Amino acid sequence: MSNPNSQEFLNAASVVQKLSQRPGDDEMLELYSYFKQAVAGDASDDSKPGILDFKGKAKWKAWKSRAGLNKHDSECKYISCVQLLINKYGVQQ
């Protein structure tokens, strides 16, 4: 995907809901991190979840790891990840 537009990104996001099997936690964190980076930009330290919010902390840490990645590249990475998951799990009809 050399030049994805927002529609391609949104289409990929909707396909994730139609995968035949739920991706694993690591795959979901990877998707989440690219999605959040594409729509919200870099994660701020102010948005870091509390110490007992383990799920939230994992998601924030994954998002924070994408700091500096621009919207276009984040969308490209997200779309590529979705394509890999489609190939791995298939899509429900």
DSSP three-state, residue 19: strand
Predicted confidence (pLDDT) at residue 3 exceeds the cutoff of 80: no
Strand partners, 19: 91
CA distance 1 to 22: 24
pLDDT bin (cut points 50, 70, 90) of residue 2 is very low
For residue 1, name the pLDDT band (cuts at 50, 70, 90).
very low
Mean pLDDT, residues 65-85 taken together: 98
Q: How far is CA 16 from CA 7, 12, 23, 85, 92, in A?
A: 14, 7, 9, 8, 10
Helices 25-40, 71-89: inter-axial angle, 10-degree rounding: 150
Q: Which numeric CATH code is attached to 6-89?
A: 1.20.80.10
Task: List the domain boundaries for the chain.
Answer: 6-89
